[in-house]
Structure 1
Amino acid sequence: MTGSPLQVEVIPVTPFQQNCSLVWDADTQRGALIDAGGEPQRLLDAVQRRGVKLEKLLVTHGHLDHIGVVGELAQRLGLPIEGPHEDDAFWIELLPEAARLYGFPPAQRFTPSRWLRHGDRVSVGNIAFEVIHCPGHTPGHVVFYQPERRLAFVGDVLFQGSIGRTDFPRGNHADLIRSIRERLFPLGDDITFVPGHGPLSTFGEERRTNPFVGDGV
């Protein structure tokens, strides 16, 4: 929506080029990082460059490339962590082991200040996001949706031309398809989404062309 106070900078981090999003309310300059997966100084440089006062860290799900520096930043800056759904707690517990396995810098476990559920709301400045629980890629995956801006941060649920993997522990392909078709697509074809990796798209474009979850499948 033109004129919305929500501002966004997408910052790809880690060797997996995970899209961390710096979001902020232009009216208050208060903001949050969604999925701070790595390269903490690069993220903080962006925060400083934009003149944003970070007030929280938001998490879509518990995979390493999305949460690798969440615990570190929360501790360094004294920030609360909101998300994901509690069904992803086991992934957060495995974080140090995952970092070693994939050759990432050491990563610390954390306990979110607030586990999120479907229908919850989170705020950034004076801007409210709706929380949509979208299990499938992981059981506790959530999406952050801002209805006035018609913008959704979908993590690894949906990508331009693809969908999230479901071959990790407690992934479920049927749940993922249901999440996309029953909880995301009904929001409207005009919704732009920021995926966990790769370029932005719209729900309408994916309904038309996505070979995994489009209307023609």
Structure 2
Amino acid sequence: MDSPTEPGKKKTIVEIYPNIYQIFGRNRSAHAYLIRGLHKNVLIDSCLPDACDHVVACLSEIELSPEDIDLVLLTHEHIDHAGCAPFFGRHALLAAHRLAANKLTMRDEFAMMNKAFGSVTDEFHLDIFLSEGVSINLGNYELHVIHTPGHCSGAVCFYEPNHRLLFTGDVVMAEGMVGGVLQSGNISDYVYSLKRLASFKVDHLYPGHGKISAHAESDIAKGIDRLETLLEESKLLFQVVQNSQHGFDQIVRSLRDLNR
């Protein structure tokens, strides 16, 4: 099994666990993960729309073609994760949480962050709506769907309990980095989601960006600390805004009194 290599170096696909491969994202794209199951081949996320050739080239390195992908699981709706889904959807089934699927099917460019990445996707439809507790048995691996809103409403993680692996998308990354609270997300849901993840036994964390982590549980704990700090800072900011509004209202009332 190869050792992981940082993005930008020669290797662009690396076997990080038996029959599990990381496809490095390029040009701000998220990573994708391939699982060669005994029954099905599964791609977790699909990179940016302009990275389809890159993903296909990576698959060819391990003697697979796009037609060999049976199922594409999307961690959420952002275009750097879902961009090549229309391409793989010609042959594979596409799956996402219902809240993410709705945004993808409607081609909600605001929710998908098209402008931020300067990309657009072709029209496509989701075949499967993922929900909390759904299990996907690949023979050698079993993926459990965990709904983890916070980064956005339709975010999910995929947990493999037998090998204690966790595919997290943008929910939490190495060193406890979090993906930010964007569009349909919110901080309190985010904290709750990470606290749920902290209740699982996890050894290896496979995120959508950055390095993989062999310190998953401590990284999740760091992520919770970051979010709780952000929540407290947001409360302080809200108080400042409220106080500023109160002061503005006093000025307006004073001006009205002068005009009487």
After TM superposition, the score normalised by the length of structure 2 is 0.69
Q: How far apart are the structure 1 equivalents of 2:146 and 2:114? A: 31
The partner residue of 1:22 within 25, 28, 34 is 34
1:206–1:213 Cα contact (<8 Å) kept: no
Q: How far apart are the structure 1 equivalents of 2:150 and 2:208? A: 15
Q: How far apart are the structure 1 equivalents of 2:119 and 2:195? A: 36
Name the counterpart of 1:36: 46
The partner residue of 2:170 within 141, 150, 156 is 156
1:31–1:56 Cα contact (<8 Å) kept: yes
1:74–1:81 Cα contact (<8 Å) kept: yes
1:14 CA displacement? 4.1
Change (3 A) 1:102 1:8: same
1:31–1:125 Cα contact (<8 Å) kept: no
What is the number of residues matched between the two proteins? Answer: 203
1:143-198: CA deviation from partner (whole Å, max 9, x where unpaired): 111112211111111012311211x221111101111112x11112x421111111
1:110 CA displacement? 2.3
Q: How far apart are the structure 1 equivalents of 2:33 and 2:200? A: 21
Change (3 A) 1:103 1:196: closer
1:29-55: CA deviation from partner (whole Å, max 9, x where unpaired): x41211102311221222222134321
1:35–1:57 Cα contact (<8 Å) kept: yes
Q: Which deviates the most, 106-115 or 139-148? A: 106-115
Change (3 A) 1:107 1:95: farther
1:100 CA displacement? 5.5
1:1-26: CA deviation from partner (whole Å, max 9, x where unpaired): xxxx952221222421411111212x
- The structure in which a higher percent of residues are strand is 1
Name the counterpart of 1:65: 80
2:123 equivalent to 1:109: yes
1:128–1:146 Cα contact (<8 Å) kept: yes
Q: How far apart are the structure 2 equivalents of 1:96 and 1:209? A: 31
2:26 equivalent to 1:8: no
After TM superposition, the score normalised by the length of structure 1 is 0.82
Q: Which deviates the most, 64-73 or 86-95? A: 86-95
Change (3 A) 1:175 1:80: same
Which structure has more RCO (C-alpha within 8 Å, separation ≥ 6)?
1
Q: How far apart are the structure 1 equivalents of 2:146 and 2:109? A: 27
Letter in 1 for 2:46: A
1:96–1:109 Cα contact (<8 Å) kept: no
Letter in 2 for 1:94: R
CA RMSD of aligned residues (A): 2.5
Structure 2 unaligned segments of length 5 or more: list them: 1-16, 233-260
Q: How does 1:141-152 map to 2 (within 5 A)?
A: 141-152=155-166
1:134–1:142 Cα contact (<8 Å) kept: yes
Name the counterpart of 2:94: 81
SS state at 1:36 partner: coil
1:95-121: CA deviation from partner (whole Å, max 9, x where unpaired): 567576245444123221101000001
Q: How far apart are the structure 1 equivalents of 2:54 and 2:138? A: 21
Change (3 A) 1:209 1:89: closer
Letter in 2 for 1:155: G
SS state at 1:163 partner: coil
2:58 equivalent to 1:46: yes
- The structure in which a higher percent of residues are helix is 2
Q: Which deviates the most, 142-151 or 119-128? A: 119-128
